[in-house]
Structure 1
Amino acid sequence: MKLSYRWKRFLIRIRHVQARNQGDWVWLRSRPMPVAALNRDLWQWAEPSFNYYVLLALSGVISTFGLLANSSATIIGAMIIAPLMGPITAIAFAMSMGNRRLLKRSSLTIATGVLMTVGIATLITWGVGLERLTPEIQSRVRPTLMDLGVALAAGAAGAFAKAHKRISDALPGVAISVALVPPLSVIGVGIAMPDQQVLTGSTLLFATNLAGIVLSGA
């Protein structure tokens, strides 16, 4: 009886630990959001707003200064506040569902944000000046398959997080921003210098990453 009592106490403790940690893994069993609810949320994310433009502008400023100063930590900081996940995921969702209105709205939001970010980077580079390309800039002038791999994984992570309410979309959003915001800033640098190689390479990197994120998210 004494041995049986100890085993009972041991099993009770295990159950308490499992119950306490259940919340950490409950997202694995969470069901995807209904299509109607997801569609409604993405319409809100695709809507261009004051907060969207402010955060994206600040992200572009921080990213550009980080590139000019060759500071990877500063560039990472810019990725944290960039609000690109919502419109990007909306584009992928619209393509997979054939929703032309959502596709048009989210594409317009992304396009205006892209033009604004490139313009900010161009003005900053003109004002600060750049004598030679920093390694951070050079690494975003020559697209590689690894860059495409990051974009594909980021798009898939963003779509998965957006479809499950219990999963925070903050980290996938940072991954998406890493693939998009620095190339946009480098495009502005290429315009300001001007440097055809920098402009062409960074534009190709941005276009490839954007296509990879959208296709994997769809």
Structure 2
Amino acid sequence: MDLPLIRWLRARFDLNHDMVEPAEIVADVEAGIAFKGTNLWVLFFAILVASVGLNVNSTAVIIGAMLISPLMGPIVGVGFGAATSDVALVRRGLKNLAIAAGLSVLVSALYFRLTPLTDAGSELLARTQPTTWDVAIALFGGAAGAIGFTRREVGNVMPGVSIATALMPPLCTAGYGLATAHWSFMAGAF
């Protein structure tokens, strides 16, 4: 029974017409996972931008760090590997995410240890007590990212996903907690 409403809905929600070739998707996922060369340098700069933004309480600077952070690469690798049952890709994504997260915490801790600004502003405090809403935002953002990542024309999806699912500010907040011995900040940010 092929009702007109079903045909209309199927035509509106079809994702196949503008999908990138699967081989290109795999290549993009693979390129985003590794932290070497460009990705490693951009990671360090994103850590420093986020740390300064948190330190001076600047929302705009923190958003900038979210957009330049390459942490989404391993996250996409884990999600894509899980969706395609590629255990090796999931492992590589998790390993590189753990390495990048560890570097983020350590570099931000070093920054916060050296900076003369020590007060915790509202931007830092906002990342110390996550809620279930934060999880919902990450899930919906990730779903939008999964669709956007596989399209020929990405448009404004990926920058929005970068902001909605950003890990850099919480990781740098954890670095602040480590540098200043505010263990509750560190635990909350993680």
Q: 1:32 aligns with which of 19, 23, 27?
A: 19
> Which structure's residues are more often helix, by fraction?
1
The one of 65, 76, 81 equivalent to 1:94 is 81
- Give the TM-score, by structure 2 length: 0.83
* Letter in structure 1 aligned against 2:163: A
CA RMSD of aligned residues (A): 2.1
Which of the residues 165, 168, 187 maps onto 1:181?
168
Per mean C-alpha deviation after superposition, the further-off stretch among 83-92 and 49-58 is: 83-92
Question: Structure 1 length normalisation: TM-score?
Answer: 0.73
Partner deviation per Cα, 1:124-151 (whole Å, 9 max, x = no partner) = 1110145432111111111112212221
Post-superposition CA distance 1:34-53 (Å, at most 9, x none): 44442233122223321111
What is aligned with 2:48?
61
Q: Tell me which structure has the larger Cα radius of gyration.
A: 1
Q: Distance in 2 between matches of 1:122 and 1:102?
A: 30
Name the % identity: 28
2:114 alignment counterpart: 127
User: Which stretch of structure 1 is more off in the superposition, 89-98 or 101-110?
Assistant: 101-110
Q: Residue 165 of structure 1 is aligned with which of 144, 152, 165?
A: 152
Which residue identity lines up with residue 181 of structure 2 in the other structure? P
**Stretches of structure 1 lacking an aligned partner (at least 5 in a row):** 1-26, 204-218
Instruction: Deviation per CA, 1:107-162: give whole Å up to 9, x if none.
Output: 22212111111111100111014543211111111111221222112211211111
CA contact (8 A) 1:130 1:193 kept: no
Post-superposition offset of 1:180: 0.7
Unpaired runs of at least 5, structure 2: 1-13
Out of 94, 98, 116, the position equivalent to 1:107 is 94
- Alpha-carbon distance in 1 for matches of 2:70, 2:161: 7
